[in-house]
Structure 1
Amino acid sequence: APFIPYTMPLVVGTEQIRQVETDAGRRRVALMEPPVDTSVNSVAAVSAATVSAAAVSGGTFRSHWGLGDDALAVVCVTRLAQELKLEGILAAMESVRALSREWPVRLIIAGSGPAAEVVHHHARRINDEAGRRLVILTGELADPRPAYAAADVVLGMGGSALRGLAFGKPLVVQGEQGFWELLTPETLPTFLWQGWYGSGPGTTGEGIPALTAILARLFDDPGLRRALGSLGRNVVEDRFSLSRAAERQVELYGQFTVSRPGAAEAARAEAVAFARYCSYVAGRRWQRLTGRAATDDFNARPVAAAHIPVPAVSRP
């Protein structure tokens, strides 16, 4: 939010956001990437879990939703929202429809949200035209882990992308304006810089053709799927584990408690922040009056969409 006082310590989730906030004048900006519980988010953990209506093993999940042993399951666990999500969800459906002519592919979308009606309508149309269920809508799952465990490929952004990696699945990162990018050793530095999101064309192109080409490459090569799944699991364990996040959190508390602004500096920062807040509130009211207000507000404007370039050398 633009009205957070500049003297307030800030913890952000990507290197790119840290640079943006530092360039804007903040002096105390730290990085702590979103953590993943690698113990409970794994195929082994789901397989060992007690079978219930809310949490079933990956194999049972596939059986429950009519996925045969030969089906290639592309899984997307997401909120069905207009901002950030809907464009990619509809593109994934079209891509799976094209690929279904050659492979036994199914798209599993787990989630709910304000765009559910649009998503359901599009899925029904594709399934009716195909004469079979190419797109499976599970609705919101109390425990989505079995969906990840059952996947052959995961589509996602943000936390959903990281959970897919924790399950050792090849990941195709979803973004906006046609962005699709496969996680590989070559693309990993980009995601460590800007987060698990993107905007505009990726290295394979953009939109439905890009996603179709990425999925076809993965379907053609089971060995590549295994290798990229192992890469993702290693990345999560090395950089995004809960234990690493806990150590970082304690370290940041120590840093911030011994470094505080003076009273005069804090007062000036609060005055500037109040003025910015008033401007923000006035702007939002005007947007609502004119019908241009985004539902998700700040989340509707990711920093990664600004196309700030990846530095030549990734920061540790």
Structure 2
Amino acid sequence: MESWDLWGGTGKPFGSKGKWHIKVQHTKTCSIEEYHAEFVILCIGQFSGVPNIPEFSPDEGPKYSRARQCTDTQRWGISKFMESYLKWTLPLKKYGMLPKFSFDEHMSSCQIAMLPENFFDKVEEGSIIIKNSQSFRFCREGLIIEGEAQPLETDIVIFATGFKGYEKLANIFESSVFQDCLKATAPLLLYRQILHPRIPQLAIIGYNESFSTLGNSELKSLWLANFLDGNLELPCVKSMEKEAKMWGDHIKQVTGRYFKRACISNANIWYNDQLCKDMGYNPRRKNGFLRDLFIPYAPTDYADLTTK
């Protein structure tokens, strides 16, 4: 596999002779059945995106780069307007919740968070306690955490699982080679956010996030259907890895400390344009130049593609 120049050896969905040996556990009966399949599609869900004001940095070129730089002040103004609007329209202050919009001029993104007022002061004072533990149990006083000598007197406990999607995905495979392919990087590097360049006959739908994850997944499913029908071709493995790394670097840049999350909402339209071009569809979904320039894009703009 490491010597293959094309995905799956041939660049086609059913190119190699091998078959997937998979086990499926039924949610109701908990029974496990084994299957052999030529192509496997994993549909997963994520609910942890970082809201960003749109900007287009991956492979944007000098023209779009200059245009983006000219709108930095505009994005900052929009973020402050949104902050003021939320404070004015929602009774957040009554409950000690205030929105905070942080704008980074280097990343050109806005990250939105809502925390109780003086949250970090309360953490230092001890009224809010954050603990990492492999196991815990409840008691009359509150909570017993593994490794702690005394119970923690608590009124409210928030259980954060620390879910890591890419690790859960890697553990599906028995092959250490495939596990290493998925665990080696974070965020997960996928070509067109669908195919791993080194794992043949496998497609992943729903790992990345956008303003409309459902609409994004539907468009990716359409791209995958065209690929399975032989209507589009894949580049060589090295080109697929280069494109996947470009997206990975972009995600790390714009999401900061959240880089393990595969959020592409700030370049969602640009990403959809790529999928449309691959399938031979016009990426300009509006009727008329002015409409395409000024009216926001939405999942409904791509609805007619499924009928084709």
Q: TM-score, normalised by structure 1?
A: 0.25
Bigger fraction of residues in helix: 1
